Amino acid sequence: MSSSFYPARRILMGPGPSDVSPRVLGAMARPTIGHLDPQFVDLMDQIKALLQYAFRTDNALTLPVSAPGSAGMEACFVNLVRPGDTVIVCQNGVFGGRMKENVERCGATAVMVEDPWGQTVSVEKVEQALAENGDASVLAFVHAETSTGAFSDAAALCRLATSHNVLSIVDTVTSLGGIELDVDAWGADAVYSGTQKCLSCVPGLSPVTFSERAVARIRERDSKVQSWFLDMQLVMGYWGENSKRAYHHTAPVNTLYALHEALLILKEEGLENAWRRHRLHHTALVAGLEAMGLGLVVAPEWRLPQLNSVSVPAGVDEALVRSRLLQDYGLEIGAGLGALAGKVWRVGLMGHAANRQNVVLCLGALEQTLSSMQAPIERDRALAAALAVYDD
């Protein structure tokens, strides 16, 4: 017999979704109103302004796509990439590969710039690829690669795109709200993200922003965008500047309440303060992991504070460790993907989950679990190392 569903309380320290603030969950319970109600139109304008703050942009075409981050990615590609185009795609993890898939589904050619998983995108390789492909129209790259925990020099890559007169498409799904992101200063053209990472909102929306250059490319298309739902020329009529909005789709009203609240929380804290908070708890976590004898895949200068790929010790069943953490502590961490499958744990410190209590719990639970499995680690050192960072 079916009954109401009440999930167990989890502490989400994986690659996403992240823990959601009670304020955000509470916002979702507010009365549903129509998606063309004047009150909701006002809320849409507020969300747009808050997203502009989070992205650091004045772009008029800034909005949340009514679907997860993968749809934000697709929205950027289907609107800016045309059949026959050449697109430079950077891959240093799983999500660069998804960019390639999008390019090919648009009927375009992907020229791949590949770097080892766990390393940053090589600016030099990208510059060479742009020089060798003068017909390229777009440069696509992942700012913060969720599959490895490495970030890349988005400012330098966007400068290269501008200097070669190509548009940039930038994946900021894991970076928005967690590390520096400055769309206008960097000259990024099409940027997409997700709500379930450092914004600590529920999954299901994808913030996007398009520069004036990108909007001009969209408007000059001589063929229809292959996706009706993601066609920005149609969506602009709903998320545009006018108080009279053209019906496009029924927006997820209560989920947008949640995004509004999450963005308010971010603005109340301040972007720079949020970045510093993520960095502090990352530093404490890494100190504890290293004191335990565990290493990280990514070099320190390119590590994401909000996503940490931890090398699994020799002889340890990484899936069993994750299972025990979930069963014994209600703690979720992530598995490796692709080339790193079975080799790493991905430990997230995102948004609401980036706090001292979670760092202490994670280190203690991981040490106890590994010790019970006779893993080759240093015992009784991790917590002291992490607390020393907090007490410094």
**CA triple 21-24-29, angle to 5 deg:** 135
Beta-carbon count within 10 A of 1 CB: 2
Question: If you write DSSP's letter for every residue of 20-37 in order, what string do you get?
Answer: --HHHHHHHTSPP--TT-
Q: Note the pLDDT of residue 202.
A: 97
Architecture of the structural domain at 21-267:
3-Layer(aba) Sandwich (3.40)
**CA triple 131-133-138, angle to 5 deg:** 100
For the chain, domain boundaries:
21-267, 271-391
Architecture of the structural domain at 271-391:
Alpha-Beta Complex (3.90)
Q: Note the pLDDT of residue 330.
A: 98
Q: Note the pLDDT of residue 8.
A: 94
The token pair that represents 318 in the structure block: 């990484």
Q: Note the pLDDT of residue 239.
A: 87
Q: Note the pLDDT of residue 58.
A: 98
* 305, 349 contact by CB (below 8 A): yes
Q: Note the pLDDT of residue 163.
A: 98
Q: Note the pLDDT of residue 147.
A: 96
Q: Note the pLDDT of residue 251.
A: 93
- Cα(39)–Cα(232) distance, rounded to whole angstroms? 23
Structure confidence by residue, pLDDT tens digits, 288-336: 999 999 999 999 999 999 999 999 999 999 999 999 999 999 999 999 9
- Name residues of the chain where pLDDT drops below 50: none
Indicate left, alpha or beta for 139 from its phi (over 0: left) and psi (-120 to 50: alpha).
Answer: beta
- Cα(199)–Cα(201) distance, rounded to whole angstroms? 5
The model carries a pTM of 0.96
Structure confidence by residue, pLDDT tens digits, 2-23: 899 999 999 999 999 999 999 9
CA-nearest of 306, 47, 89, 22 to 176 is 306
Q: Note the pLDDT of residue 1.
A: 77
CA-nearest of 111, 136, 114, 139 to 125 is 114
Q: Note the pLDDT of residue 238.
A: 87
